Structure 1
Amino acid sequence: MIEPTQMNMRKTAILSLFLNIATNLHAQYTETINSNRPGQSQGAYAVGTNVIQLETGPYFGNDEHSGLGTDTDLWGIDYQLRYGLLYERLELNLTGSFESQNIFRDFLGVASESSIRNFKTNSIGAKYLIFDPGVSIEPDKPNLYSWKANQKFKWKTLIPAVSIFAGANFAFGDNPYLYEGEGKFSPKAAIITQNNWGRWVLVMNFIADKLTEDFRSYTGIITVTHTLTPSLAIFGEYQAIKSDIYADDIIRAGGAFLYGNDLQVDISGLVNFKDTPSKWQVAAGVSYRFDLHKVDEFLEESNEGNKRRQRSEELNQEMEEGDEGDGYEDDGSN
């Protein structure tokens, strides 16, 4: 009776290990691309040093405002450029969107049509991971003698990774998307949390935007992602926006598919719950990683880091032996 139980415990531990590896979320640099798309939230983890990552895609939709009598067809493209600089925990990013709107107005029986197009948003900033539970919290070792002890809920799994973001919005020229009196430069800050529970990931963003303006904006985003297979994941997202000029509640959902280690494609849609305006959008996108990462920055207190260091050293040794072998063959041919 003891041997089958121990065997089951070992299988459970091995399965958990593979699930954690599949999510690729405990380390900064990961073997597969780690994209913020297709949702609007940022994950807590950076892309890794010397990694350049582009995340972009087109979208189209409609806004209908019952109070203003407008019906707006829109299309655009959003983009995010991410770069891991100096430290595994640090990331610089540029985020924005270009949007075109065709506005049909019927107010008090008077019909009119107009259009605008410009960069709707642009912001640049830095994200830094200030707390990583995978580094700071010692993982529990499997209990080979008690199935119940292994299945017991562990409160420390609720402790998230935490990052902070600081940046600024900017605009150029006569931008029609700026509100009257809005400055072309304003600071932006955010707190980002992330929980990794096997195939489930919970990300929360708490954003304070346009902090020097009279109409500051506060946004909360909750994103839940579920991995169906090593290549396929789905997500659901809730976003709440509050400001003196615009407030909304938005729901998004969609999925992403991974091709190889460096390419991801996605599709998503959104709706809201009011008529000033009511809106819907659909979007598709691609994320691609230019992987220039050479050597992981390992933290001594991280058990996962020690394992990755060992794997990296073994890989580097194999590459060096391969280079030596190539050089010998070249000398022989000459």
Structure 2
Amino acid sequence: MKPIIFSIIFLIFTSVQSVFSQYTEVINSNRPGVSQSAFSVGTNVIQLETGPYYIKEKHTPLQQEVSGLGIDFAARYGLLWEDLEINVQGTFQNDTKKQYAPVSTFDQKRSNFKHLTVGAKYMIYDPYRNAEEEKPNLYSWKANQKFKWKSLIPAIAIYAGANFDTKDNPYTAPGVEGFSPKIAVISQNNFDGGWVFIVNLIKDRIGTDQSDFQYILTLTHSLNPQWVVFGETQGIKSDFYADNLFRVGGAYLWNKNFQLDTALTFNTKDTPSVFGVNFGISYRLDFHEDKEIDNGSPAQDELRLQERKIQKQKEIDLEKSKKLEKRSKSKKNS
């Protein structure tokens, strides 16, 4: 377990602690894609993400075919600070590998973890922390809808963890067993209109005969407060396996702590061809409490209260300006 301890210590002491909250009122799941968000779940939040899947692979040149079932799972916890998250992620698969021969067909039953990783993620930069300081234009709804160039600056997080692979695992390269490091750099852009773009750059099983480099690009779009659709591409490169996978799917927010999702996975080659379908759920146990800063000054407490009232009034005025502008447009059109 030493690599895990070193990873957490590295993340803690090479980053500056933040006092801004990453907690959200509704669940923020990494599903149904396989990329990690740059944001943590928030302190004292326990989040479980899991789901079964069906997989079918066909390697035409080698005359091999694999079909079976599996389950993805992740447990996430916001620890100590808003920027820090520890998590356990894994995939367990049970399948049948068929080797076609001129005379007969050989079946091999297989089951094991395709991966099992314990790690920690820490956000080192968040351009959205001071978003509340941006004042809306109270006189122009159109001005508030303009593209914000600042949204091109992503939030950045780093991840470090340790894989554990058992001996003679059928899903890894020969000789790969025990612990191996995994690191990643994660970026996330939150654009207006409900668009989110996530990039994961990953170096996995470092120092083994299956030292993968992976990139994952995920684009999601909120159709409304309940429905989200996404598209994703994942590139994998190592001496053991290389592929370009594509995923499409969506998620439904049942309530603020519970999400349902589904996705399809496929590629465009035959060494092997890949087709998969998964269903999943995400659920959180929310014990989060916002930290209140009390400096013992009633005068400053009163000042903060007045500032909140002023901000609320500005929001009301902004709504009024939107309605007036819409009425003005409708009158011009008529």
Deviations 1:114-159 (A, max 9, x none): 1101112100100001001112578543345567755554322100
Partner Cα distance (2:26, 2:197) in 1: 19
User: Can you give the 5+ residue segments of structure 1 that lack an aligned partner in the other structure?
Assistant: 1-25, 299-305, 312-334
- 1:116 corresponds to 2:91: no
Partner Cα distance (1:155, 1:229) in 2: 24
Deviations 1:43-88 (A, max 9, x none): 0000011111100000002000012211111110110000000000
Q: Structure 2 residue aligned with 1:100, among 94, 100, 107?
A: 94
Q: Structure 1 residue aligned with 2:257, among 258, 262, 267?
A: 262
> Deviation of residue 177 (structure 1)?
2.3
Partner Cα distance (1:297, 1:272) in 2: 49
| Corresponding residue for residue 5 of structure 2 | none
AA aligned to 2:57 is D
TM-score (norm 2): 0.77
- Structure 2 vs 1, CA of residues 296 and 277 (structure 1 numbering), >3 Å: closer, same or farther? farther
- Structure 2 vs 1, CA of residues 36 and 283 (structure 1 numbering), >3 Å: closer, same or farther? same
| Corresponding residue for residue 154 of structure 1 | 148
| Corresponding residue for residue 176 of structure 1 | 170
Matches within 5 A, 1:1-334: 27-135=21-129, 140-144=134-138, 150=144, 152-198=146-192, 199-296=194-291
User: Can you give the 5+ residue segments of structure 2 that lack an aligned partner in the other structure?
Assistant: 1-19, 294-303, 310-334
For the Cα contact (< 8 Å) 1:68–1:107, is it kept in 2? Answer: no
- Indicate the percent of aligned positions where both proteins have the same amino acid: 50
AA aligned to 2:80 is L
Partner Cα distance (1:169, 1:98) in 2: 14
Secondary structure class of the residue paired with 2:266:
strand
- Structure 2 vs 1, CA of residues 98 and 310 (structure 1 numbering), >3 Å: closer, same or farther? farther
For the Cα contact (< 8 Å) 2:173–2:210, is it kept in 1? Answer: no
For the Cα contact (< 8 Å) 1:232–1:255, is it kept in 2? Answer: yes
Secondary structure class of the residue paired with 1:41:
coil
For the Cα contact (< 8 Å) 1:88–1:297, is it kept in 2? Answer: no
Partner Cα distance (1:152, 1:255) in 2: 28
AA aligned to 1:70 is Q
> Deviation of residue 274 (structure 1)?
0.7
Following superposition, which runs of at least 4 residues in structure 1 exceed 6 angstroms of deviation? none
Partner Cα distance (1:205, 1:120) in 2: 19
Deviations 1:147-186 (A, max 9, x none): 7755554322100111000001102354332311213211
Deviates more, 1:173-182 or 1:29-38: 173-182
For the Cα contact (< 8 Å) 1:43–1:203, is it kept in 2? Answer: yes
TM-score (norm 1): 0.77
- Structure 2 vs 1, CA of residues 280 and 87 (structure 1 numbering), >3 Å: closer, same or farther? same
> Deviation of residue 247 (structure 1)?
0.8
Partner Cα distance (1:110, 1:65) in 2: 17
| Corresponding residue for residue 319 of structure 2 | none
Deviations 1:247-281 (A, max 9, x none): 11111011111112111011111100110000100
For the Cα contact (< 8 Å) 2:51–2:72, is it kept in 1? Answer: yes
